[in-house]
Structure 1
Amino acid sequence: MSPLRLAFMGSPDFAVPALEALHQAGHDIAVVYTQPPRPAGRGQRETPCPVHRKALELGLPTRHPVRLRRDEAEHRAFADLGLDAAVVAAYGLILPSAMLSAPRRGCLNIHASLLPRWRGAAPIQAAILAGDTETGITIMQMDEGLDTGPMLLSGRVPIRETDGVQVVHDALAGLGCELILRALEEDPPPVPQPEDGATYAPKLSKADGQMPWSEDATALARRVRALNPWPGTFFLHQGQPVRVTEAVADDAAGDVPPGTVLDGLPRIACGRGALRLLQLQRPGRASQPADAFLRGYALPPGTILG
Structure 2
Amino acid sequence: MRLAFLGTPEFSVACLAELVAAGHEIACVYSQPPAPRGRGHDLKPSPVHAFAESLGLSVRTPASMKTAEEIKAFRALDLDAAVVVAFGQILVREVLEAPRLGCFNLHASLLPRWRGAAPIQRAIMAGDAVTGVQVMRMSEGLDEGPVLMGEQVRIDALETAGTLHDKLAAVGARMLPVALGAIERGAARETPQSEDGVTYARKIKAAEARIDWTRPAAEVDRHIRGLSPFPGAWFEAPSDKGPVRVKALLSRVEDGEGAPGVALDEALLIACGDGAVRLLKAQREGKGAQDAEVFVRGFPLAAETVLA
Into which bin does the TM-score normalised by the smaller protein fall?
over 0.9
Q: Which residue number in structure 2 is paired with residue 257 of structure 1?
A: 259
Q: Which residue number in structure 2 is paired with residue 72 of structure 1?
A: 68
How far has the Cα of 1:267 moved from its partner?
1.5
Q: Which residue number in structure 2 is paired with residue 150 of structure 1?
A: 146
Q: Is this contact kept in 1: 2:158–2:250, CA < 8 A?
A: no
Which of 235, 247, 254 does residue 251 from structure 2 map onto? Answer: 247
Query: How does 1:54-133 map onto structure 2 within 5 Å?
Result: 54-69=51-66, 71-133=67-129
* Bigger Cα displacement from structure 2, 275-284 vs 91-100: 275-284
Q: Which residue number in structure 1 is paired with residue 215 of structure 2?
A: 215
CA distance in 2, matches of 1:300, 1:220: 21
Q: Which residue number in structure 2 is paired with residue 20 of structure 1?
A: 17
CA distance in 1, matches of 2:291, 2:8: 33
CA distance in 2, matches of 1:85, 1:289: 45
SS state at 1:65 partner = coil
How far has the Cα of 1:77 moved from its partner?
0.8
Q: Is this contact kept in 2: 1:10–1:91, CA < 8 A?
A: yes
CA distance in 1, matches of 2:123, 2:88: 20
Which of 261, 273, 278 does residue 280 from structure 2 map onto? Answer: 278
Q: Which residue number in structure 2 is paired with residue 8 of structure 1?
A: 5
Q: Is this contact kept in 2: 1:206–1:232, CA < 8 A?
A: no
Q: Which residue number in structure 1 is paired with residue 33 of structure 2?
A: 36
2:247 partner letter:
R
Change (3 A) 1:292 1:172: closer
1:301 aligns with 2:303: yes
1:208 partner letter:
E
Q: Is this contact kept in 1: 2:160–2:250, CA < 8 A?
A: no
Cα offsets for 1:82-117 (capped at 9, x unmatched): 111100000011111110111111110000011001
Change (3 A) 1:176 1:289: closer
How far has the Cα of 1:61 moved from its partner?
0.0
SS state at 1:295 partner = helix
How far has the Cα of 1:224 moved from its partner?
1.9
How far has the Cα of 1:40 moved from its partner?
1.4
2:10 partner letter:
D
Q: Which residue number in structure 1 is paired with residue 230 of structure 2?
A: 230
SS state at 2:33 partner = coil
Q: Is this contact kept in 1: 2:9–2:86, CA < 8 A?
A: yes
Change (3 A) 1:288 1:182: closer
Q: Is this contact kept in 2: 1:8–1:31, CA < 8 A?
A: yes
TM-score (norm 2): 0.93
CA distance in 2, matches of 1:186, 1:297: 55
How far has the Cα of 1:167 moved from its partner?
2.1
How far has the Cα of 1:246 moved from its partner?
2.0
CA distance in 2, matches of 1:302, 1:107: 56
Query: How does 1:178-217 map onto structure 2 within 5 Å?
Result: 178-187=174-183, 188-217=188-217
Structure 1 runs of 4+ off > 4 angstroms? none
Structure 1 gap segments, 5+ residues each: none
Query: How does 1:133-144 map onto structure 2 within 5 Å?
Result: 133-144=129-140
Q: Is this contact kept in 2: 1:267–1:277, CA < 8 A?
A: yes
Q: Is this contact kept in 2: 1:116–1:148, CA < 8 A?
A: yes
SS state at 1:215 partner = coil
1:49 aligns with 2:46: yes
TM-score (norm 1): 0.94
Query: How does 1:285-296 map onto structure 2 within 5 Å?
Result: 285-296=287-298
Structure 2 gap segments, 5+ residues each: none
Change (3 A) 1:173 1:289: closer
CA distance in 2, matches of 1:175, 1:260: 41
Q: Is this contact kept in 2: 1:68–1:93, CA < 8 A?
A: yes
How far has the Cα of 1:298 moved from its partner?
4.2
Query: How many positions carry a matched residue from both structures?
Result: 300
Change (3 A) 1:174 1:293: closer
How well do the aligned residues superpose, as a CA RMSD in angstroms? Answer: 1.4
